[in-house]
Structure 1
Amino acid sequence: MSLIDDARAVRENAHVPYSGFKVGAAIRGAGGGVYVGCNVENVAYPEGTCAEAGAIAAMVAAGEKEIAEIAVIADSPVPVSPCGGCRQKLAEFGAEDVKVTLANTDGTVQETTIGALLPGVFDAAQMSRT
């Protein structure tokens, strides 16, 4: 099964009673494990969780801290892209050359990288004056 297949499967578990917009994400960690997440809405909108954030949390909970690859899928007109906050979260755990596969449920796929999604990333190097 591919990462897109894993993301497509978990997408069905999304809790989206307000938007109806289901998103699934699957991450392959550097150790080879696959971790999935789906979006979980809350009536207080800012309190919801993105699919990518859920997959990252599952990866970290399993003891991995490095993303080797990620796939994201939604029922959208074009391949769905992570929001700005999730781009920053992905950059926290993945190198700029990590492959990101974006897809929609119609089968359209776009490949990119974490670095291309978030040029000029804010990272730990910017927090040090030495």
Structure 2
Amino acid sequence: MEKEIILAPSSTELQELFREAHLAKHKAYCPYSKFRVGAALLTTSGKIYSGCNIENASYALATCAERTAVVKAVSEGEKSFKKLAITSDVESGFTGPCGSCRQTLAEFGLDLDVYLVNTKNESKLYKLQEILPIAFTPSDLEKSRSNHDIM
């Protein structure tokens, strides 16, 4: 699934999305790992919600940048997303979303464009369904309810 590197954002919309992800990264609270991550989520209404990772001394309670952005968007009434940009301080390569974040994003649809953005503003583009190919989604629950009603 190796993707071609996109050398620069191709539109003003993407430039803004990448910029917001980079700005969010600088707000990260990561005193333990020192691994800063920023994310910016573009909704179908055209709004951008950004998020950073927030660590906790109880490591399991840390919150990823992607989930922070989703929570902010949903808490403002947004539930339809177009694009997500994720960036970190990794200089060689790209940082992708963890499994929990992929599953959280899948709740709102698998057709999301996910841009992994490096420190040089180069990116790789994936569809969420590519990086979470066998997702558990709300439609699975509907199938289960339908089967349960038959029995």
Instruction: Please classify the TM superposition score into its range, dividing by the shorter chain length.
Output: over 0.9
**Contact kept? 2:27, 2:52, Cα under 8 Å:** yes
Which amino acid in the other structure matches residue 7 of structure 1?
Answer: A
Distance in 2, matches of 1:116 and 1:2, equals: 24
- 1:97 CA displacement: 2.4
* Residues 28-60 of structure 1 deviation map (CA, whole Å, 9 limit, x = unaligned): 111111100000000100001000000001101
The answer to whether residue 41 in structure 2 is matched with residue 41 in structure 1 is: no
The answer to whether residue 21 in structure 2 is matched with residue 29 in structure 1 is: no
**Contact kept? 2:18, 2:121, Cα under 8 Å:** no
Distance in 2, matches of 1:106 and 1:16, equals: 22
In structure 1, stretches of 5+ residues that fail to align are none
Q: TM-score, normalised by structure 1?
A: 0.94
Aligned residues: 129
The answer to whether residue 134 in structure 2 is matched with residue 125 in structure 1 is: no
Distance in 1, matches of 2:105 and 2:39, equals: 12
In structure 2, stretches of 5+ residues that fail to align are 1-14, 147-151
Bigger CA radius of gyration: 2
3-state secondary structure, aligned to 2:72: helix
Identify the residue that residue 89 of structure 1 maps to in structure 2: 104
Give percent identity, aligned residues only. Answer: 37
The answer to whether residue 118 in structure 2 is matched with residue 110 in structure 1 is: no
**Contact kept? 1:11, 1:24, Cα under 8 Å:** yes
3-state secondary structure, aligned to 2:69: helix
